[in-house]
Amino acid sequence: MNVRRLNNVRNYAVGVICTLMPLETSHVVQTACKNEISLNKTNNISDFVSELKKRDKATKKMFMDTNELINRVQIRDSINRPRLSNPTLRTDVSKTRYRGNPQFLDNYLGGVLEGKGQQFYDAQEKYGINASFLIAIAKHESGNGTSDFARNRCNIAGMRNKNSYMYFSSVNECIDKMASNLKRLYIDQGLTTIPAINKKYAESTQWGNSVLNNMKDLYTGTQCKLYKY
């Protein structure tokens, strides 16, 4: 076996290790493996195996240390970290939930939506609709809380009656009304995915993509794939 093939074996092993490790530590493990496990330039795979065995105790200790660090970080940051999975067009917004601290949602809200993370979370719990989906709609329809309707009518959801866009006494009232209407007129009618809701909620066929991108912004902003809905 030549040196090039040995290097391929090493890279494969490193890749497997890093895949199994949490995202926060995979780069640490990868760096450590590349720096610490060196191959002799021979044609014998046994040298590679032997080197791995020599490093076995040190590697295990490194894994234990990094896992302990992750546990400490997770405990420390548990009040801030959301629990998400990557949203897609197939995501059922009635069967997924945001399970993080509502205050984390405030990081993604501006304008008249600022500080409304708890209200979106409460609407999720009351009507059974994913809070990140509700936020995604509000951000799209209100320009993240900065549109004229959002500021002058407290209408952050683009909601209309037969005559015109609706007025609300507060943003909180509009959040509750939006979630209530989605539950009654969409979810209860079997429209539970973004494309299905798009067809009834908005004339634009791009509405769903914009809403999905807003949900993904919240997901990718965490940089942590350990958490699920």
Asked whether residue 145 carries a pLDDT value surpassing 80, the answer given is yes
Beta strands in 138-184 (DSSP E): none
pLDDT at 21: 46
- Asked if 72 and 106 sit in the same domain, the reply is no
- Asked if 62 and 139 sit in the same domain, the reply is no
- Asked if 128 and 207 sit in the same domain, the reply is yes
Work out the average pLDDT over 42-61: 61
- Asked if 40 and 144 sit in the same domain, the reply is no
Yes or no: say if 215 and 159 are a contact pair by the CB < 8 Å rule. no
pLDDT at 44: 57
- Asked if 146 and 206 sit in the same domain, the reply is yes
The answer to whether residue 191 is domain-embedded is yes
Last residue of a domain, one of 76, 94, 127: 76
- Asked if 208 and 148 sit in the same domain, the reply is yes
The answer to whether residue 125 is domain-embedded is yes
- Asked if 214 and 138 sit in the same domain, the reply is yes
The answer to whether residue 200 is domain-embedded is yes
Q: Position of tokens 């999975």?
A: 85
- Asked if 152 and 205 sit in the same domain, the reply is yes
The model's confidence at residue 7, banded by pLDDT at 50, 70 and 90, is low
The model's confidence at residue 163, banded by pLDDT at 50, 70 and 90, is confident
Last residue of a domain, one of 37, 60, 76: 76
The answer to whether residue 182 is domain-embedded is yes
The model's confidence at residue 98, banded by pLDDT at 50, 70 and 90, is confident
Distance between CA atoms of residues 195 and 199, nearest Å: 7
- Asked if 39 and 108 sit in the same domain, the reply is no
Asked whether residue 97 carries a pLDDT value surpassing 60, the answer given is yes
Q: What is the mean pLDDT of the chain?
A: 77
Q: Contacts for 222-226 with beta carbons within 8 Å, 24 or more apart? A: 222/81, 222/82, 222/84, 223/23, 224/23, 224/24, 224/81, 225/23, 225/86, 226/22, 226/23
pLDDT at 150: 97
The model's confidence at residue 42, banded by pLDDT at 50, 70 and 90, is very low
Question: Residue 15's domain spans which residues?
Answer: 3-76
Domain CATH code at residue 112: 1.10.530.10
Asked whether residue 144 carries a pLDDT value surpassing 80, the answer given is yes
Domain count, the chain: 2
- Asked if 136 and 48 sit in the same domain, the reply is no
The token duo for 162 is: 């037969």
The answer to whether residue 211 is domain-embedded is yes
For 165-194, the pLDDT digits (tens) are 999 999 999 999 999 999 999 999 999 999
- Asked if 134 and 197 sit in the same domain, the reply is yes
Most confident option among 2-6, 67-71, 178-182 = 178-182
